[in-house]
Every structure is written in C-alpha cells, then in structure tokens.
Structure 1
Amino acid sequence: MDIQVVERDEIKVVGISWNGSYSQASSIPKLFKVMETRLDEVAHQTEEPVLIAPFHSRETEITYYVTTPVNKIDQIPEGMVGFTIPGKNYVVTSYKGRPEEVENTYLKIFDWMKEYGYEQDHQALGLEIFPKKQIETNASEELYFDIFLPIKSYKE
C-alpha cells in the first residue's frame, strides 16, 4: 500500500449530508445514489470528475457528506449543504477492494502515521474522493477511492 503526504488547496463543495452512529453506517452507500440523481441541481460544478465525501468522525458517531466540487457557492439546492474545505496537509492512499476491508486500510494508515510521526487533526474533515467513472463499480461488490486523513504535525 502506497501512503504519502500531500498538500491540498481549499475545495468548495455542495451536496447532501448524513449523521448517525457507526452501527448505522451501512446506509452511507445510498447517499451516493441520491447525490447522483441530484447532480443536475448543483450550479457551478467544476470539471473535476469526482464525488468528494468529507467526513467528521467522533467517538460514537460520524457525519458524512457526499458532495461535488464547485467553483463558487451561491445557489444551494433545497436539502443540500455547501461549504469550503480549507487547504490542508493530508496522509493519502488509494483503496481498491471489498467494502468490509476498508476498516483494515484505515488501521494501516493509522499505523503508518504513528511510525512516521504524524498526528491526525481531529478538528478537520477527512476526505474520501471517488472518481465519478467508478461510482457504478462502487455500487457493486468492489470499491475504489482515495482516502485523505488530515494531519496536524508535518514531518520535515
């Protein structure tokens, strides 16, 4: 597994949100289907062919968004949210595999961060970035996306 540290510029996004306990997380894949049917409602979409899923995980619950990147946020469709994700340093890797194996990939990233002296920034949003061309594949038995975990400390 290839893991590296990258710096991302700020991203403006518009999309739908969900909040619940980890035991309810099995409903998250349905969010992608809902967002896909509503993409035409979002104004000012960028040319970047991705869906961005920012998330904030806490001890007992998670807030998960399925969004599309936009050039500006001025028209937010009913039932959606729009916000800017600040520029940040992230530990990043790609995931390809079965949905039940995703957690193991996150554990490997946490181990790598500890080994190389990086600390996760729990105040910032993590990102899962899904190429739009992979959404149909992701709806089946195999997932493909990039994982970005925000970091506080940046090892020189």
Structure 2
Amino acid sequence: MKYEKPGIKQLAEMTIVGFRVQCKGSHYIHEIPKASAELDRRKNEIGHLVSPLEQFGAFVVDEETAEEEGYWVGFPVHTLEKIPEGMVSLTIPAQTYASLPIAGNNEQIVPAYEFLQQWMEKHDYPRLLNKWHLEKYTKWDSADYVEVDLLDTTENKH
C-alpha cells in the first residue's frame, strides 16, 4: 500500500461518548467494528455531538492502570450531559500526534502503524506509549473499507 506523507497535528482536549471494548488482543480487529456499528446505530441518543461524520477510537499502548485497558470508540461531544445507557465517556487531553491518513481494509491499519512509527523514529518523534492514541474515522460502516487518520502520540518539538 502506498501512503501519504505523515505529518504532525495538535488536537485540543476532546470528550467522546461511546463504547469501551475489552477483549483478547487478536479479537480487537473483529470487536471494534461491531462496537462502531452499534455506536453508529445509537448516535441519535448522544446529546451535543460535534459531528456525526467523525468517529474516534482511543487507546493507550502501555496501560498503567486497569482503567486504561481496552479500546474506546465514540463520537466527540461539545458538552457532556447524560450518558446513554450502556455507553461511557472518555476525555482525552490536548496532545501532539504523528498523523497518517489511510483508506482500505481495516487489516491495513497494523502495517500503516509500522510505516508511521518508522517515520517517527527517522524524524526523532518519540512515541509516548503511556498517553492516549487516537484513530479518527470518517468512513467506518464496513471493515472491508475504512477511512481513518492514525494519530500516534508524540512530543511537540517546537
């Protein structure tokens, strides 16, 4: 797969409302799309959506606590009010990310991360494994074709 050139992005603090997925590592590739589809079906229950066209995934690579284990999939909200039944909220602090947009089968995500991480190493952007990493989806209705911006947390060098 040919990739666009990675870049660096700053994102402001964000609160997402959605589902937390917890399973064995090899099952995430199947469980995350299920949670994403259920979230899409129930998005009208979430108040104060920033955009119904952007779903975010969030995870910590090197979890330090049980509260950080798993993968969150959610929609960003302007204001957090009532959380719909069965859903959770997560606030991600403002952070700097190495970014790589990709489009294709969700099985392309792992090799794309490898490409992004090689670029980060080459350009002296350290991966911050104990911070929240994001995946910004703009197309997610089929695991066979997703559009996602991989956002690997790093340091702001400026």
> Same-fold call, TM > 0.5?
yes
Task: Give the structure 2 partner of residue 29 of structure 1.
Answer: 33
**Per-residue deviation, residues 40-62 of structure 1 (Å, max 9, x unmatched):** 11111124621111122348xx6
Alignment-mate amino acid for residue 26 of structure 2: S
Pick the aligned partner of 2:96 from 73, 86, 89.
89
SS at match of 2:70: strand
> Which residues of 2 match residues 6-155 of structure 1 at below 5 A?
6-25=9-28, 26-47=30-51, 49-58=53-62, 63-131=70-138, 134-136=139-141, 139=142, 141-151=144-154, 153-155=155-157
SS at match of 2:125: coil
- 1:17, 1:66 within 8 Å by CA — same for their partners in 2? yes
Q: Which runs of 5+ in 2 are unaligned?
A: 64-68
List structure 1 segments (4+ residues) > 4 angstroms apart after TM superposition. none
Alignment-mate amino acid for residue 148 of structure 1: L
- 1:73, 1:83 within 8 Å by CA — same for their partners in 2? no
Give the whole-Å Cα distance in 2 for the aligned partners of 1:56 and 1:20: 14
* Cα distance change on mapping 1:19 and 1:141 into 2, 3 Å: same
- 2:13, 2:91 within 8 Å by CA — same for their partners in 1? yes
What is the aligned-residue RMSD (CA, Å)? 1.9
Q: Which runs of 5+ in 1 are unaligned?
A: none
- 2:106, 2:143 within 8 Å by CA — same for their partners in 1? no
- 2:102, 2:112 within 8 Å by CA — same for their partners in 1? yes
**Per-residue deviation, residues 7-59 of structure 1 (Å, max 9, x unmatched):** 11111111111112211112211111110111111111124621111122348
SS at match of 2:128: coil
How far has the Cα of 1:98 moved from its partner? 2.1
SS at match of 1:39: helix
TM-score (norm. length: structure 1): 0.87
Determine what percentage of the aligned residue pairs are the same residue: 24
